Amino acid sequence: AQSVAQPEDQVNVAEGNPLTVKCTYSVSGNPYLFWYVQYPNRGLQFLLKYITGDNLVKGSYGFEAEFNKSQTSFHLKKPSALVSDSALYFCAVRDTNSNYQLIWGAGTKLIIKP
């Protein structure tokens, strides 16, 4: 079965330090990958996507993600964390077996401490 895993329920980072939120996937065929962010009491907002091309994808709010085909990973990164980056982050992949609907990870809570 196709799936997405976010192995960390929570990630704690000090402000100014680099951050990484991990995502691994399992799909048949080409992966189409997305990251979304959810702030409290709000809907999800699109951050970035990988469809094809460069393995390093740049997105909103200074975030980037690295696609690694051999490790089937799509980790979200930012060089210098801000307190305002604290939120819930979701990774998602298109399900090539189910009309390309999105399969979602369980989410990772990112806490940036001042």
Contact residues toward another protein (CB under 8 A) are: 9, 32, 34, 36, 41-46, 49, 51, 90, 92, 94, 99-102, 104-107
Nearer to another protein, 78 or 94 (CB): 94
Nearer to another protein, 17 or 98 (CB): 98
What does the DSSP 8-state code read for residue 69? T
Say how many CA atoms lie within 13 Å of 65 toward its Cβ: 32
Q: How many residues are there in the chain?
A: 114
The b/e string for 57-86 (b: 16+ C-beta within 10 A; e otherwise) is bebeeebbbbbeeeeebbbbebeebeeebb
Do 37 and 89 meet the contact criterion of CB atoms below 8 Å apart? yes
Nearer to another protein, 28 or 80 (CB): 28
Nearest to 108 by CA among 7, 3, 9: 9
Please state the closest distance from residue 83 (CB atom) to another protein, in A: 22
